């Protein structure tokens, strides 16, 4: 992994005192964390602790209580499309590609009107993922699970986001595809795009993350670097390991 740059100034995302509810269930309980420009931050924890609810609250799919600032602007209460238009990309766990459209058409739908000098072009995406290039005119619904995941991530990149949130990108993928996804995440960050990664595979998160937060019972229970988390045996045992 490229060296972590200690001198960072631009704060992309600031989450403070975030609470969220499903009916009477109090899912998020005062969640607080931040992500800086070009930084890969992983949100770890067992299933059901509130990781996906956190990213859905940030993108506006869940109505939270608290503060979420993106590039210094409060976005709580804004619609998802408004948040996305400000430069926040989101790749959901279920991928949400358009199965009847071709790979090329899916990528074109990710583009914003009037984009100038985007970080990512279709030719770059195809160069990075030859499998997508070979199937550019094939319907998305017939792609493998790994190819659909890559397509979903690349479609979001075509909108040239300043930050991207990705929910479980390596779930169910073969080790070779997991390595490709990991390299893509590092390449995204190297271009100044911040990443908030919800990841179940601890080894992946430890390898590529600059910082990690661990969630338990709807709260942040740990914050640290990959090196510090590897030494935190009690935290891993209590909150991460099965």
d(CA 5, CA 10): 12
Average model confidence (pLDDT) across the chain = 91
Tens-digit pLDDT profile for residues 23-58: 999 999 999 999 999 999 999 999 999 999 999 999
pLDDT (average), residues 90-112: 92
Q: Rg of the chain over CA atoms, in angstroms? A: 17
Q: Alpha helices, DSSP H only, in the chain?
A: 51-59, 80-85, 103-109, 122-128, 130-134, 145-157, 175-190, 202-208, 226-231, 233-235
- Tell which phi-psi region holds residue 161, choosing left (phi > 0), alpha (psi between -120 and 50) or beta: beta
Residue 98 has pLDDT above 70, yes or no: yes
Please report the pLDDT score of residue 7 as a whole number. Answer: 42
Tens-digit pLDDT profile for residues 125-136: 898 888 899 999
By CB atoms closer than 10 A (0-12, 13-18, 19+), residue 106 is buried
Q: What domains are there in the chain, each with its CATH number?
A: 13-240 (3.40.50.300)
Please report the pLDDT score of residue 115 as a whole number. Answer: 67
Q: How far is CA 223 from the centre of its chain?
A: 18
- Of 108, 190, 92, the closest CA to residue 148 belongs to 92
Greatest CA span in the chain, whole angstroms? 51
Q: How confident is the model at residue 9 (pLDDT cuts 50, 70, 90)?
A: low
Tens-digit pLDDT profile for residues 211-230: 999 999 999 999 999 999 99
Evaluated on CA atoms 53, 56, 58, 63, the torsion sign reads negative
pLDDT (average), residues 110-115: 78
Please report the pLDDT score of residue 95 as a whole number. Answer: 78
Please report the pLDDT score of residue 14 as a whole number. Answer: 98
């Amino acid at each position: 992994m490229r060296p972590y740059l200690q001198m960072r100034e631009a704060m992309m995302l600031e989450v403070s005192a975030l609470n969220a509810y499903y009916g009477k269930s109090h899912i998020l309980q005062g969640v607080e964390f931040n992500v800086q420009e070009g930084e890969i931050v992983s949100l770890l924890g067992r299933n059901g602790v509130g990781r996906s609810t956190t990213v859905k609250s940030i993108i506006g799919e869940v109505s939270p209580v608290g503060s979420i600032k993106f590039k210094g602007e409060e976005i709580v209460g804004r619609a998802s499309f408004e948040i996305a238009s400000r430069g926040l990309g989101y790749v959901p766990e279920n991928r949400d590609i358009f199965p009847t459209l071709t790979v090329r058409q899916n990528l074109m739908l990710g583009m914003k009107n009037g984009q100038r000098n985007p970080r990512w072009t279709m030719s770059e995406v195809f160069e990075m993922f030859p499998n997508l290039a070979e199937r550019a005119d094939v319907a998305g619904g017939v792609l493998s699970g790994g190819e659909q995941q890559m397509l979903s991530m690349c479609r979001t990149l075509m909108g040239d986001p300043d930050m991207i949130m990705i929910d479980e990108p390596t779930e169910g993928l073969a080790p070779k595809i997991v390595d490709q996804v990991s390299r893509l995440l590092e390449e995204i960050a190297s271009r100044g795009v911040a990443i908030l990664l919800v990841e179940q595979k601890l080894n992946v998160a430890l390898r590529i993350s600059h910082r990690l937060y661990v969630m338990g019972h709807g709260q942040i229970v740990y914050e640290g670097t990959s090196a510090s988390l590897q030494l935190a045996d009690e935290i891993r045992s209590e909150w991460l390991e099965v």
